[in-house]
Amino acid sequence: MTASTASTAASASATASDPAWLPPEAFRALGSRRVLVHGDGLLADTVWGEVTAACAEFGGEAARVDGPDPAGPYDLLLRTRREHLDRLGEEGFFLERAGGRTTVTAAAPHGLLHGLFHVVRLGRTAFDRDRQRQAHRPALALRMLNHWDNVSVHPVMGQVERGYAGGSLFWRDGAARGSRADLDRVRAYGRLLAAGGINALALNNVNVHAEEARLLTDRLGEVAGLARALRPYGIRTHLSVTFAAPVVLGGLPTADPLDPAVRAWWAEATGRVYAAIPDFGGYVVKADSEGQPGPFAYGRTHADGANLLADALAPYGGTVHWRAFVYDHRQDWRDRSTDRARAAHDHFTPLDGAFRDNAVLQVKHGPMDFQVREPVSSVIGAMPATRIAVEIQATQEYTGQQRHVCALAPMWSEVLRFRPQGEGTPTVAELARGGLVAVSNAGDDPYWTGHPLAQANLYAVGRLGWEPGANPYRLLGEWIDLTFTPERSPEPERLRAGVYAVLKDSWRTYEKYTAPLGVGFMVQPGHHYGPSVDGYEYSPWGTYHFADRDGVGVDRSRATGTGYAAQYAKPWSELYESPDTCPDELLLFFHHVSYDHVLHSGKTVIQHIYDTHFEGVEEVEEARRVWASLADLVEPGRHARVAERYEEQLRSAREWRDQVNSYFFRKSGVPDAHGRRIY
């Protein structure tokens, strides 16, 4: 046995930015004990660095052992045993406690790292009672973030497209960040992600502009540098690439996926990527979508396009994530038959079975675009022979842009637990064999996410990918306990309950004061913040509510509408087909109904609109009050940042309430049953 005392703190926890859900305090239980680490390789070194830092901070003892059966006194053993690979995979681990010792056994160092963070999450409870051996293994093998970061500042979108947390963590002034401090921060970010369960990250925007395209070729060194900073925490790097790369980078006359020169170009470019980054994860592609180039230009299918890149990646074990976000963004608003909701299904389901094994179809969780309420995309259940990844949006583009509190784990959890074929059939999480992908909400803001409470969303992505059946409210509690370490507070219960109260129903609160009953949008065009009821009503992007003096909503039934409801399997197709059976929260997504239509709740649509908008604002007022009451318990900087954002949230929520209520009052002429103020 070789042993060393924890006299030198590893740099792991040293970062100028907010420690988020890994404050030093979260390591107290572990760091005050005798810990043995057994395992070799980069990630085992990371675990060792974490353990020595924690023990240095809290007076424990750390030792690293070579032999397979360490003896001697210890409280926690973190060990690798290759023979468990079949059972645990690279990332899983066993946890048990007997005879006063807690043991984490992983088959590989990556599992050891997850086991370590699991022990951190458990805190004292990892050491206070016996536990039978329990296996922990991620349900979804890939848990990825997509950063929509641009290398250079884009004139319209800024540096991070739909970013609400400052500039990019990865790029500045047109180049990859490379200073020691910057890379330490990237590493600290990787550490946070790993502790939440993320294992992959695409560095750049899916809209690949000219500069960014070159990351694949002459700017590859920048990608390799960032990959190096993320690797110690088991985060594999992926890259968004443009389908037109052979033309714009290779000087070829075509990007036709069936052209041998094009195939050779991709094979060679991909070979160079793997020479620089041997554990590179693969490509993310937005093709024939919102102006991005794609296979349609050559009369080819999206399977042809995806397979081209899949074949280039296959020799190295890489994957292409091919996005299903394909629709007509130049439609004529007068044309009532074209329906954006149908588009992905129409384009992709005929291709089921045509994609290579390492081509994953990445589908947004709803058929539209990350609205506060959408049905689950019909594509997810309709392509059994295709590996699907489900894409969610942590960046709050349509859910308050990190100025509003909107904890999204409850929504994502509903999506992941939905059963597209009905009772007794697989859940979305089970169908998502290609993984869970979230558009990131992080940037170079000191709190990472702009709104400090939006960290809860970033945290939940990996945790839900690991355990999609987890109660999302338990995950919120977990995040609160780690981030705020209430047990060190003079009033743990008031702190815990207060933070929980402002997060718990915040998604439903946001839904109440914005677009009603699943109809979506009603945001200001372009930047998508704040209300504009008719903002997209006559727009070529194709999202409408069709409100007139009699009623509101989009008829997507088979019988009289666009037929989107019929793209679902039973029982959903039948349920959504009729306003009588359609769930209230999706009524206006699937149906155009009159204002006096009575919901299952017993209210008319118009009264529901009024009531929810008044309630939503009241709930924000209450949340703001609760947050203010925590001023003595929360670190002042964090408290002030959230308090300031509550002022804006309240202002904006009132604006939403008054615009939406006034709009529908003027259209319908129906007064509020309670006589409240409508303008």
| CB closer to ligand GCU, 542 vs 616 | 542
Point out which residues bind ligand GCU (CB under 6 A): 161-162, 206-207, 286, 290, 325, 369, 397
| CB closer to ligand GCU, 369 vs 611 | 369
Quote the least distance from Cβ 161 to ligand GCU, whole Å.
5
For residues 409 and 413, give the distance between their C-alpha atoms in angstroms, rounded to a whole number: 6
CA angle 376, 382, 383 (to 5 degrees): 120
Quote the least distance from Cβ 398 to ligand GCU, whole Å.
8
Quote the least distance from Cβ 395 to ligand GCU, whole Å.
9
| CB closer to ligand GCU, 290 vs 622 | 290
CB 400 within 8 A of CB 649: yes
| CB closer to ligand GCU, 162 vs 613 | 162
| CB closer to ligand GCU, 397 vs 511 | 397
Kindly report each contact of residues 261-264 with a partner whose C-beta sits within 8 Å and lies 24 or more positions away, as own/partner: 262/308, 263/308, 263/311, 263/312
User: Among candidates 139, 166, 252, which has minimal Cα distance to 444?
Assistant: 166
For residues 329 and 38, give the distance between their C-alpha atoms in angstroms, rounded to a whole number: 55
List CB contacts of 193: < 8 A, sequence separation 6 or more.
145, 201, 233, 235, 458, 462
Quote the least distance from Cβ 74 to ligand GCU, whole Å.
49
At 417, list the tokens. 């637990």
* AA identity, residue 265: W
List CB contacts of 316: < 8 A, sequence separation 6 or more.
270, 274, 280
For residues 49 and 324, give the distance between their C-alpha atoms in angstroms, rounded to a whole number: 41
Quote the least distance from Cβ 397 to ligand GCU, whole Å.
6
| CB closer to ligand GCU, 207 vs 396 | 207
Beta pairing, strands 143-146 & 435-439: parallel
CB 462 within 8 A of CB 196: yes
Three-state SS letters, 60-105? CEEEEECCCCCCCCCCEEEEECHHHHHHHCCCCEEEEEECCEEEEE
- 10 Å Cβ neighbour count for 636? 9
> So which residues are the catalytic ones?
290, 369, 397
SS3 breakdown of the chain: % helix, strand, coil, rounded to 5?
A: 40, 15, 45
| CB closer to ligand GCU, 292 vs 413 | 292
Quote the least distance from Cβ 416 to ligand GCU, whole Å.
19
For residues 152 and 146, give the distance between their C-alpha atoms in angstroms, rounded to a whole number: 17
Quote the least distance from Cβ 501 to ligand GCU, whole Å.
31
For residues 476 and 12, give the distance between their C-alpha atoms in angstroms, rounded to a whole number: 25
For residues 319 and 309, give the distance between their C-alpha atoms in angstroms, rounded to a whole number: 8
At 595, list the tokens. 């204002």
Quote the least distance from Cβ 167 to ligand GCU, whole Å.
17
| CB closer to ligand GCU, 329 vs 433 | 329
